[in-house]
Amino acid sequence: MLVIAAVAPHGGIAVAEATKPETRHLAAKTRSGMGELGRRFAQARPETVVVISPHNVHVEGALAVVTSGWIAGDLRDTPEPVALRCQVDRPLARAIRDSIRRARVPVAGVSYGGNDPEDAAKAANTMPMDWGVLIPLWFCGGRFEPPVEVVAVSPARDLDPEQHLKAGRALAAAVGRSGRRVGLIASADHGHAHAEDGPYGYHPAAAAYDEQIVQLIRRGRLAGLEKIDPQLVADAKADSWWQLLVLQGALGTTWRGELISYEAPTYFGMLCAAYAGRAMMD
């Protein structure tokens, strides 16, 4: 069953080991929030963590589910090593892929290396782990003992909101049938146009978009996320809407969210939120 869910950022400044001491103050609130998410995941004891990341493989016109045997990666040029290697929960990955497909949402299973499907389970055919997967897992299971197994899912920005909601519902159905204790993370940084000197320049839509997301989470549910104007998302240079839609679909109406932290310390917004089901809150 789904035992915990979260919204977690994936900017490198969320990880102390990846940040020079003189700049660690920039995201102190976020690092504290990530630590809190880590504690909650440890308490929930998921066996597998599903991470919805916008920075893994991109498949035009379809969501993607990693079905390799292993996934591994690192952050480059960091003051201290930041690297993870995790086993993929292949049965759950395939079940999520098939469930999304039955919901008539375009989806592809993706692996790396050998063409024989069974070769995908071999260590030599390891799927690259992007920072959108690595950074949330750095806190929420990748360094647990034993480490959690992982499923990485990529959204598809050329599919509409309803298809992402349907994919989330299908994902939750697959988790419910799996017999596994599963955590779900929407790996999400928000508006990327908060600063004139940032790579995307400044646009007031970044703050406006982030405020809408913060208010939705403060209300405890993500319902209404699908009504956000796509032009606002585009102007804000947001990197979160699609993952959050999948999360919304997966959680339905019985889960409640708690905003742990929000800040925009540089050019992009970072937010930590935790979700618990009704049974866990009683």
Mean pLDDT for the stretch of residues 165-180: 97
* pLDDT band, residue 100 (cuts 50/70/90): very high
Q: What is the mean pLDDT of residues 75-99?
A: 96
3-state secondary structure of 175: helix
Question: Within 10 A of 78 (CB to CB), how many other CB atoms are there?
Answer: 15
pLDDT above 70: residue 119: no
Beta bridge partners of 63: 107
- pLDDT for 278 beyond 70: no
- Rounded to 5 degrees, φ, ψ at 70 are -140, 155
- Domain locations in the chain? 2-281
Which of 29-38, 111-120, 144-153 shows the lowest per-residue confidence on average (mean pLDDT)? 111-120
Q: What is the chain's mean pLDDT, rounded?
A: 94
pLDDT value at 271 more than 50: yes
Burial class of residue 232, CB neighbours in 10 A (0-12, 13-18, 19+)? middle
Q: Quick check: 282 pLDDT over 50?
A: no
Residue 214 pLDDT more than 60?
yes
Q: Is beta strand 2-8 parallel, antiparallel or unpaired with respect to 270-277?
A: antiparallel
- Quote the Cα angle for 231-241-184, to 5°: 175
> How far is the CA of 200 from the CAs of 171, 191, 193, 253, in angstroms?
33, 10, 6, 35
- Has residue 279 got a pLDDT over 60? no
Average pLDDT over residues 78-90: 95
pLDDT of 230 over the 90 cut: yes
233 token code pair:
């998302």
Q: Is the peptide bond preceding residue 136 cis, with omega within 30 degrees of 0?
A: no
Bridge-partner residues for 74, per DSSP? 83
Tell me what percent of the residues of the chain surpass a pLDDT of 90: 87
pLDDT of residue 220: 83
Average pLDDT over residues 86-104: 97
Q: What is the pLDDT of residue 114?
A: 67
Token look-up 């952050």 returns: 75
2-281 CATH pick, 3.40.830.10, 2.40.30.60, 3.50.50.60, 3.40.50.2300: 3.40.830.10
Q: How far apart are CA 167 and CA 175, in angstroms?
A: 12
Task: Please say if the pLDDT value at position 121 is more than 80.
Answer: no
- Whether 275 contacts 220, CB under 8 Å: no
CA atoms of 269 and 210, how far apart (whole Å)? 7
Alpha helices in 180-237 (DSSP H): 205-218, 230-236
pLDDT digits (tens, 9 = 90+) for 37-63: 999 999 999 999 999 999 999 999 999
